[in-house]
Amino acid sequence: MMTLQTKKRSGRRRQIPGSIRLRPSEVVAMDVNRLGINGEGIGYVERQVVFVDGALPGEKVVARITEVAANFARAKLLRIVRQSKQRVKPPCPVYERCGGCTLQHLDYQAQLEWKRELVRESFARYTGLQDLPIQPTIGMDHPWAYRNKAQLPVTIVGGRVMAGLYAPGTHKLVDTSDCPIQHPTTNEIVRVVRDTLEELSIPIYNEKKHSGVVRTIVPRIGFETGEVQLTLVTRTEELPKKRELIERLRQRLPDLTSIMQNVNPAKTPLIFGEKTILLWGKQKIEERLGNVRFALSPRAFFQLNPEQTTKLYNLVAEAAELTGKEVVVDAYCGVGTIGLWLAPQAKEVLGIDAIPEAIADARENAGRSGIGNARFVVGQAEQVLADLVKKGYRPDVVVVDPPRTGCDESLLRALLQALPKRIVYVSCNPATLAKDCSILLDKYEIRNVQPVDMFPQTAHVESVTKLELRP
């Protein structure tokens, strides 16, 4: 029978005011008060913060301390003494080992409510604003099978080829070839490719020895077009038994549109290398969002949840309030998704991105979609916008969709010089969103914040924030 270690144990611990008094391997009982930004349960033991993965608010749990830092501790959940009514049984058999999802054990409606609260807490912390109009999170009717792309490393386990994800904090691969948040087609492709590689005895990459050939399986499907792309990431350009591999994959996966090979010879955690080779079929597959058409090469970025992406972009259009007379700047435009979505409702759109390949794709996508009032330029958004403002360029609306690190501070300064009527901030990180808005509040007022659940069963939350220039 497991017993709890308490403060009344033999021997004395030196206690320093304000310091952690817990010890690694110590077993504690604690009440869980809330969820952290990564979906972990948070409670207090001896007035010290303890993070417990898998624990939910309202629960009393028993956990073993695994890490003690300067002002917090982490613990492993051992058992639940009092269970939350919002706890559900995860449908995925490898959920607790995989690490790809973090909230399958939480009722979906509760996930949506927590994500809204996460956005609210971020604004309260970084702006001091407590009464912002933060709307209920927009979720999915069926929050499963939504991902259109997988990137799964392969390895040999017990003489068999395995494809999956690394368990958190380890280099132990967990088989995720039947992932419930992936589109069924991508799961099927992974299983067939895995089995075919094994049948043909094609060498699998060994990370420690930096040997072998096939490193990663990357399937992608166009939800609207049905086109299917398979990319094999290899260490070497030479792919043993290439002809037999292609023939068998085409026979077993008749819906394939494209088979690509990406070569990554480096000893690196990065998935893709610089060279991509067409093995069979089309160089790029096509996908559609509304009336906008996109050509997708293996390395091209595209939103992973098309159903929610359409909702997200409609929210951007609603916040932009376009009448057909506005000049719109799409900063961090990528392959032009948001800019092209807005173009039919705007006078003109200018998309800016620092990656030349993304701008080339954006221009191609505009041509494919028959959109003539959108132009795209290569450059740092903050520099391009600042230079244009000096020349008298005044956009009516600026849309920013930055990475998780948020907007570059110089872009925020450029926005405060350009002073567009509206700024629409698309964010994948509530903390950096709130920090950036705290700067923009010098000239702008937040009119609306709309969280969107782009990645159900995970701790990620997207949001669309509408800021208007103060009178």
**CA diameter of the chain:** 78
- Span 13-20, average pLDDT: 47
Going by C-alpha positions, the residue among 134, 213, 144 that lies closest to residue 184 is 144
What are the C-alpha distances in Å from 367 to residues 85, 335, 343, 351? 52, 12, 13, 14
For β-strands 73-82 and 444-452, DSSP reports them as unpaired
Task: Determine the straight-line distance between the first and last CA of the chain, rounded to whole angstroms.
Answer: 68
Distance separating alpha carbons of residues 382 and 354, to the nearest angstrom:
10
Is 69:20 a contact under the CB 8 Å cutoff?
Answer: yes
- Residue 57, pLDDT score: 97
Q: Is 92 a catalytic residue?
A: no
Place of tokens 């993070």: 51
- pLDDT for position 6: 37
pLDDT digits (tens, 9 = 90+) for 442-460: 999 999 999 999 999 999 9
pLDDT bucket at 8, cuts 50 / 70 / 90: very low
DSSP state of 86: T
Phi-psi region of 241 (alpha: psi -120 to 50; beta: other; left: phi over 0): left
Q: Are 306 and 289 in contact (CB under 8 A)?
A: yes
Give the pLDDT confidence score for residue 17 in this predicted structure.
45
β-pair partners for 465: 425, 449
With beta carbons less than 8 A apart as the criterion, state whether 32 and 43 touch: yes
Average pLDDT, rounded, for the chain: 93
pLDDT over threshold 90, residue 345: yes
- pTM of the model as a whole: 0.91
User: Is pLDDT of 15 > 50?
Assistant: no
User: What residue has token string 């951007």?
Assistant: 316
3 state DSSP class of 27: strand
Range list of H helices, 146-268: 184-199, 242-252
What per-residue confidence (pLDDT) applies to 301? 85
pLDDT at 170 over 90: no
Neighbouring residues of 193: CB distance < 8 A, sequence distance ≥ 6: 163, 217, 219, 230, 232, 249
**pLDDT digit string (tens) for 230-249?**
999 999 999 999 999 999 99
pLDDT attached to residue 349: 98
pLDDT digits (tens, 9 = 90+) for 140-161: 999 999 999 999 999 999 999 9
Radius of gyration (C-alpha) of the chain in whole angstroms = 25
- Collapsing DSSP to helix, strand or coil, 71 comes out as coil
Share of the chain above pLDDT 70, in %: 96
Q: Which pLDDT does position 3 carry in this prediction?
A: 37
What 3-state DSSP class applies to 3?
coil
Give the model's pLDDT for residue 19.
53
- Token pair in block for residue 124: 């309260």
- Answer whether 399's CB lies under 8 Å from 326's CB: no
Which amino acid appears at position 241 of this protein?
A: K
Three-state DSSP string of 261-321: EEECCCCCCCCCCCEEEEEEECCCEEEEECCEEEEECCCCCCCCCHHHHHHHHHHHHHHHC
* Domains, the chain, with CATH or none: 27-87 (2.40.50.140), 112-141+305-469 (3.40.50.150), 152-289 (2.40.50.1070)
434 phi and psi, to 5 degrees?
A: -65, -40
Burial 337-354 (b: 16+ CB within 10 A, else e): bbbbbbbbbbeebbbbbe
Distance CA 284, CA 357 (A): 14
pLDDT grade, residue 208 (50/70/90)? very high
Q: Which of 98, 101, 428, 437 is catalytic?
A: 428
Residue 279 CB contacts under 8 Å (≥ 6 apart), including other chains: 232, 239, 242, 246, 259, 260, 261
Q: What value does the mean pLDDT take over residues 330-343?
A: 96
What per-residue confidence (pLDDT) applies to 47?
Answer: 86
The predicted pLDDT at position 20 comes to: 56
Number of H helices, E strands in the chain: 10, 21
Nearest to 156 by CA among 239, 99, 230, 214: 214
Q: What is the pLDDT of residues 401-413, one digit of tens each?
A: 999 999 999 999 9
Q: What is the mean pLDDT of residues 31-58?
A: 95
Among residues 193, 218, 182, 188, which one has the least CA distance to residue 296?
218
Cβ-Cβ contacts under 8 Å for 423 (sequence gap 6 or more): 397, 398, 399, 400, 415, 440, 444, 466, 467
pLDDT at 12 over 70: no
